[in-house]
Amino acid sequence: MSHQLGRVVSEILHRYFGELVQQVGNDLFIYGSKPISMIVKTTGLPRKQVIESLRTLLKFDLASFEPSVHEVVADYKLLPDNVLLLIRYPRYLLQIKSKYGTEAELLVEELLQQATSTATGLLVTVATKNKDDKEKNITILKLRDTFVSLATAGYIQQAPVADTKEGSSDVPSLVPVATIVPDLDTRQLLHAMTTGSLADIKDNIYWKVNYDRFHQDFRDDIMVKAMTRRIDDNAGELMRLLLQQMYLSSAAWAAESNPTPALDIREAVRRAADKSLLSQHVDHYLKVLEENGAGFVRRVGDAGGGQLVVCGRRAAGRLLEAVLDHVVTERLGSNAARIFRLIRAKKYIEEDDIQKHAMLPNKECKELTYKLLEEHFISVQPMRKAASAGGMAKAIYLYHIKTHDVAHTAQELCYRALHNCLRRAAHERNKHARLRDKQRRVRTIVHGMRMRGEPQQNIDDVEETLTPPELALLKDVEKRLKQLSAAELELDRNLFILNWYFMYSK
């Protein structure tokens, strides 16, 4: 909960929900949890607008509430981690599209936009929206099947419901419910499609996107890619199979999975038999993965042909180290990165020894070490001999790395960078708002004219209201915004690894 996080969250809220929500969000971020009347007082907004903003925040699960000490009013609290997820939406869509196809993408997109929705409501909306799109050929039956498979795979889940138990206070509390894969009546759906009204269907189960399931996918992807880079494609494939086996027996984010017998892995490899090289050398690959795979996999026993464990905690640690290495390399140069790694490898090391091992000129080495210290990548521990008299006793300075602290440094940097990207994008949008508005209007008009079948001459006339310099400028702005949003996604990926590391250190 740092100042930088507050700035990022504020920018994100501004982009997605506008100024009012941003103000309320800021207020909540600064003060922690507080009731509505207090928010009204500090923000100076009308009560109605505050309530409206809070409703938005609660709907998208960006804030939570709980009964205050008086038990009659609720205290509201912002959930900054969930706000950060807003910029991850494009990645969710890409992931689901590559796994389940276009229908799934449409469903998830709609669900993300609505935050929560009933199954039938969602299906009918998506089907109606894409009714005219001949290319995609979306039918409600296909959508229903996709919905069921998404629910089965856990990408969507039932939204928590209000606790209606006796004796609870005036403020309801939300309790999560186990997801039951729905059985949707085809005939009812088709009927609703034709009539266009949902009034006949009694469906009061609400659904929402299960972010955690997506995050598991992202995590797996990172691990598999890392192994592919370190060893080869087959090792990556093997890592994927190992992770699949892990899901069968352990919690998804376990620091260390329950042991999986190598026999099961061999069986799984045989079933996925398109990799002939992998199935030929499963045992060898397991051994190499274990010995050269950066400690992602560990052998715990020899029973049943070997027992393997996937070490999520260590993997996160290693990936964090890789991130930090990159950051140090880019910020202070490759020689600084060498010193950084050297200190990490030796745990505690004296300045003289750094020079000896890093093979750098004395002066440069000292300079880089102090720079690293200045930017909080390394720490120093002075060791003074207590009993010695006078100033003659030389203190020993031991350099070391506090991984957790450095990870926080990196996180702060990420927040700063993300804030700057968001801010810059907002600035670019504001600066060229008039032009972008004009372009949008021209497009709508042209679209309308095309629909009405007006002559090409007239359409051209309208299009020419945008002059060539304007068009060039628009293209330039478009490119900048694209680059900025790509950067935001990359930063989000970076933050994902950092958060994964922090998950275990709590």
Partner 1 sequence: MSSNKNDDPISDKILNIAKKNPKGISDKDIIAAVPDLSSAELVAAINKLLQQGVFDLFNQGGSLIYRLKAQTSKQAVKGADNEEKVVYNLIEEAGNKGIWIRDIRVRSNLANTQLTKVLKSLESKKVIKAVKCVNASKKKVYMLYNLEPDRSISGGAWYQDQDFESEFVDILNRQCLRFLQQRADKIKNNPKGPILGRTQSFATAVEVQKYITDLGISNVKLEVEDVVTILNTLVYDGKAESNVYPDGSKVYRAIESLIPPPGLVQVPCGVCPLVFKCCSTGLVTPQDCKYMDEWLEN
14/144 with CB nearer partner 1: 14
Cβ count near 423 (within 10 Å): 17
- Is 52 among the residues that bind partner 1 (CB under 8 A)? no
- Integer Cα distance of 428 and 388 in angstroms: 63
d(CA 313, CA 301): 19
**How far, rounded to the nearest angstrom, does the alpha carbon of residue 205 sit from its chain's CA centroid?**
27
Q: Which of residues 205-224 bind partner 1 (CB under 8 A)?
A: 222
- The residue range among 20-28, 79-87, 188-196, 475-483 that interacts with partner 1, by the rule CB under 8 A, is 475-483
Starting at the edge strand found earlier in the chain, the sheet holding 156-158 runs 117-118, 206-209, 156-158
Closer to partner 1 by Cβ: residue 127 or 223: 223
Cα-Cα-Cα-Cα dihedral sign, residues 404, 410, 411, 413: positive
Is 484 an interacting residue with respect to partner 1 (CB under 8 A)? yes
Query: Tokens 């490759």, residue?
Result: 334
Q: Is 123 in the site for partner 1 (CB under 8 A)?
A: no
- Single residue of 185, 203, 325, 463 touching partner 1 by CB under 8 A: 325
Closest to partner 1 by CB, 166 vs 274, is: 274
- 364-393 binders of partner 1 (CB under 8 A): 364
Q: Name the 3-class secondary structure at 118.
A: strand
> Could you tell me the smallest distance in angstroms from the CB atom of residue 110 to partner 1?
28
SS (H, E, C) 178-204: CCCCCCCCHHHHHHHHHHCCCCCCCCC
Contacts of 408 (CB under 8 A, 6+ apart): none
Indicate which single residue of 280, 381, 388, 465 sits in contact with partner 1 (rule: CB under 8 A): 280
Q: Of 249, 255, 258, 176, which is closest to residue 219 (Cα–Cα)?
A: 255
Of positions 15, 266, 287, 366, contacts partner 1 by CB under 8 A: 287
For the bound state, the minimum distance from the C-beta of residue 249 to partner 1, rounded and expressed in Å, comes to 25
Structure-block tokens of residue 21: 């929500």
- Of 71-79, 121-129, 230-238, 452-460, which segment contacts partner 1 by CB under 8 A? 230-238
Residue 2 found at the interface with partner 1 (CB under 8 A): no
Name which position in 59, 70, 99, 229 contacts partner 1 (CB under 8 A): 229
19 binds partner 1, rule: CB under 8 A: no
Single-letter residue type at 22: Q
- Please pick, from the candidates 235, 239, 243, 269, the single residue that binds partner 1 as defined by CB under 8 A: 235
DSSP per residue, 421-469: HHHHHHHHHHHTHHHHHHHHHHHHHHHHHHHHT--HHHHHHHHTTS-HH
Q: Of residues 234, 245, 369, 439, which one binds partner 1 by CB under 8 A? A: 234
Would you tell me how many other CB atoms lie within 10 Å of the CB of residue 82?
16
Q: How far apart are CA 139 and CA 160, in angstroms?
A: 29
Whole-number minimum distance, CB 271 to partner 1, in Å?
Answer: 21
Q: Report the chain's terminal Cα–Cα distance, integer Å.
A: 14
Rounded Cα distance, 442 and 150, in Å: 39
Contact 45/56 with Cβ under 8 angstroms?
no
Q: Whose structure tokens read 């088709």?
A: 190
Tell me how many residues contact partner 1 (CB under 8 A): 70
Report CA-CA distances (Å) from 356 to 67, 345, 362.
61, 14, 9
CB 73 within 8 A of CB 35: yes
Rounded least distance, CB 78 to partner 1, Å: 19
Between 237 and 264, name the residue whose CB sits nearer to partner 1: 237
Choose which of 200, 352, 454, 460 interacts with partner 1 (CB under 8 A). 352
Stretch that binds partner 1, among 166-174, 200-208, 291-299, 437-445 (CB under 8 A): 291-299
Does 226 help bind partner 1 (rule: CB under 8 A)?
A: yes
8 A C-beta contact, residue 416 and residue 4: yes
Least distance (Å) between residue 344 CB and partner 1: 9
CA 229 to chain centre: 22
Among 83, 107, 224, 231, binds partner 1 (CB under 8 A): 231
Member of 92, 206, 285, 377 binding partner 1 (CB under 8 A)? 285
Both structure tokens of 248: 């069968």
Pick the piece of the chain touching partner 1 (CB under 8 A) from 42-50, 360-368, 378-386, 389-397.
Answer: 360-368
Looking at residues 397 to 436 of the shown chain, list those that interact with partner 1 (rule: CB under 8 A): 410, 413-414, 416-417, 419-421, 423-424, 427
Shortest distance in whole angstroms from residue 235 CB to partner 1: 7
d(CA 11, CA 27): 13
Cβ 115 to partner 1, closest distance in Å? 27
Per CB under 8 A, 327 contacts partner 1? yes
Q: Which residues bind partner 1 (CB under 8 A)?
A: 7, 222, 225-226, 229-235, 277, 280-281, 284-285, 287-288, 291-292, 294, 318-319, 322-323, 325-327, 329-331, 334, 337-339, 341-342, 345, 352, 357-362, 364, 410, 413-414, 416-417, 419-421, 423-424, 427, 479-480, 483-484, 487, 489-495, 497
